[in-house]
Structure formats: structure tokens, C-alpha cells
Amino acid sequence: MKNFLTILWLPACAALLLVQGCHTGSNTPHATDDSVAVKQSDSLFESQFSPSDLITNWEKHSIPLDSVFDGGPGKNDIPAIDYPKFVSAAEAHKFLSAPDFGVFLDWNGEQKFYPLNILNWHEIVNDEIGGQPVVVTFCPLCGSGMVFSRVFGRDTLLFGVSGKLYESNLLMFDSKKESLWSQAMGECVVGDDLGTKLQLINSVLISYEDVEQYFPNAKVLSTDTGFDRNYFQYPYSDYNSSEELYFPVGKISDRYNNKDEMFVVQIGDESVAFHWLDLLKAGKATKQTKEGLVEAKVTNLVPAAINKNTGEKLNGYFSYWFSWYATYGENGIVWGK
């Protein structure tokens, strides 16, 4: 498989905010009392930007609010796609070339491909596949394509782009209470649904060439989105060719380059990251966890994972190394060099 995520997108306003808002937190006063620290954090947050465009309950949060950054565009300024249209893999030749990558879903007998050319401009697609309501998400800054169930209790939610970032990662909001959900964590981090996790759906990042060769019956997300966007254009094309991050993160590791691609597998409450190029060369790898032995295997350039102890299929996704490490740190499990 060719190296994917060759060009990423960053909202135009973000560059201006870097001058004003980015910091490492090294100059933030440290309080001995947790309640005092939260108050300091919240007041700094309020001075950075007004959350008035969201009806989120900001009183409930599991993350420090001064670590939530305004990415530039406001709520829904990066519009989610709520009524996606699809074309056949053959028809997609009109707007895709062989090396174009996207999020691929194979669920309940149905296959769909969501090109990054489109996701770079929308980040969220509210869809349904194989009778399952899903939200397909992509954070260009983290190279993370993750899919979740939209079924929440008795409700089927819609998700939108809040314009806020945490650990340089997309914060989504839901249509019911406008709680904020961390894409990387798959969890509500601000709002009334605090601590609630979304069900992860297995997905992979593959090329259009792979789709044509191995999944010719797959449906491809159409550029007929209802929005005026140039899906042939990739602004901020230098982002993923450097080690630079546009927004601060709490933890960094030099074990790999910031933007090395990782195939990430969830097993219980543990997260296992397989270095993608190493896994691609090896073809198969195993890593022990407290929940069992995880085996990741690549077939036709597509990775899949199982719990070798139980035979259970495990859900996975792709992400940049820096984003995975910022989320899981030393608590995560890594396979690779």
C-alpha cells in the first residue's frame, strides 16, 4: 500500500489563532488544590474564546477547558454531511485517482468508501450502513479516521463539527444536548453526557485503487454534497510533510515520527497501536494484553485484528502516532520497533 494521507487540510483561520492562542502550558500556575486549578483553567478558557455559539453544559467536563482550542471556524462552519449521496466505484473515476485514500467500511454485507478529498472539507458524515446508523469522522490534523454508532440509548443522534480542538483533535457535538465528544477518545468530555463512550465501528484507510481491485461493488461518497467546495484542492499541503503540529498536545513521544501512521486496535479498555509500515512488512503481528492476545493481520493490503484467545473480531482504525500517544500515553500498548 502506498503511503496515504499525502495531503491534509487545516481551516484557514487556524493560522491566525496560532499567533494568539497556542501555548504549551509550561507557564500556567500550578495549584495544590484541584478545585482552585479548575477555576484557573476555566477562567483562562473564557478569556480565549466565547462558547456562546454552543449550548453545551460547560460546567461538566473531564478535560481542562484551557486545553480546548478554537480551531478557527465556528460551530457548523465546517459542515457535516447529513444526507450523503453515493456513486459506484466505477463512476468515482470522475473525481478520484488511484492513490486517493479514504475511510472504508465493510458492515453487515454493505461496503462504503468515504474519500479524504471530501472528508478533509467536512470531517463528519452522518450515514447508515447495513441498517446501522453511523457517524464517519476524519480529523485532518491527526490523520484519524474513526467510525462510531449513532445510536445512543433510544435516540439516533446527528453529529456536527464544533470548531473546537482538544489535543489537536476534533471535538464533535451531538444534535440533542450539544455535548462535546473527543474523536480520539470516542467519549463525551464536556456536557451532560460526560464520560459516555460511543461504540466504535471497525474501519480502515485504503486507496481508491484498493477499492477498485478488491471491493468493486463498494459505494463511494459523491462530491454532490450540497456544499460549494473544491474537492480537488488540498490547502495546507505542507502540514503532514513536517513534524510540526499546529496546536499543542499534552504528551509527545519521539519513539516514532509525529505523523507516522498507526493501525489502532481496541480490546476492552485497552488500546494497541501497530506501527503501520512495520505491520505491512511483517504481514502479521501479535501483542499480549490483559484482555487476551491481539493478532493483527494484513490481507490484500487491509488490516484486521482478532483476540486470539476468544476468536473475537476487534475494531480498529488509523491515526497519526502523535495523536494516539497524546490520548493514551504510557497506558497504551505499542507493537513495532
3-state secondary structure the chain: CCCCCCCCCCCCCHHHHHHHHCCCCCCCCCCCCHHHHHHHHHHHHHHHCCCCCCCCCCCCECCCHHHEEECCCCCCCCCCECCCCEEECCHHHHCCCCCCEEEEEEECCEEEEEEHHHHHHHCEEEEEECCEEEEEEEECCCCEEEEEECEECCEECCEEEEEEEECCEEEEEECCCCCEEECCCCEEEECCCCCCECCEECCEEEEHHHHHHHCCCCEEECCCCCCCCCCCCCCCCCHHHCCCCCCCCCCCCCCCCCCCEEEEEEECCEEEEEEHHHHHHHCEEEEEECCEEEEEEEECCEEEEEECCCCCEECEEEEEHHHHHHHHHHHCEEECC
Percent of the chain with pLDDT over 70: 84
178-187 average pLDDT score: 97
Domain that holds residue 162: 1-250
Q: How would residue 40 be classed by pLDDT, with cut points 50, 70 and 90? A: very low
* Together in a domain, 38 and 184: yes
Q: How would residue 208 be classed by pLDDT, with cut points 50, 70 and 90? A: very high
Q: What's the pTM?
A: 0.86
* Together in a domain, 244 and 262: no
Q: How would residue 282 be classed by pLDDT, with cut points 50, 70 and 90? A: very high
Q: How many domains does the chain have?
A: 2
* Together in a domain, 222 and 303: no
Residue 12 has pLDDT above 80, yes or no: no
* Together in a domain, 12 and 84: yes
Residue 32 has pLDDT above 70, yes or no: no
Residue 13 has pLDDT above 90, yes or no: no
* Together in a domain, 95 and 175: yes
Residue that finishes a domain, picked among 206, 221, 250:
250
Confidence at residue 2, expressed as pLDDT on a 0 to 100 scale: 42
Per-residue pLDDT tens for 218-237?
999 999 999 999 999 886 67
* Together in a domain, 149 and 285: no
153-159 average pLDDT score: 93
Confidence at residue 35, expressed as pLDDT on a 0 to 100 scale: 35
Mean pLDDT, the chain, integer: 87
* Together in a domain, 232 and 267: no
* Together in a domain, 246 and 258: no
Confidence at residue 216, expressed as pLDDT on a 0 to 100 scale: 97
* Together in a domain, 165 and 305: no
Residue 44 has pLDDT above 70, yes or no: no
* Together in a domain, 216 and 256: no
Residue that finishes a domain, picked among 250, 270, 301:
250
Residue that finishes a domain, picked among 250, 277, 293:
250
* Together in a domain, 204 and 88: yes
* Together in a domain, 243 and 257: no
Q: How would residue 34 be classed by pLDDT, with cut points 50, 70 and 90? A: very low
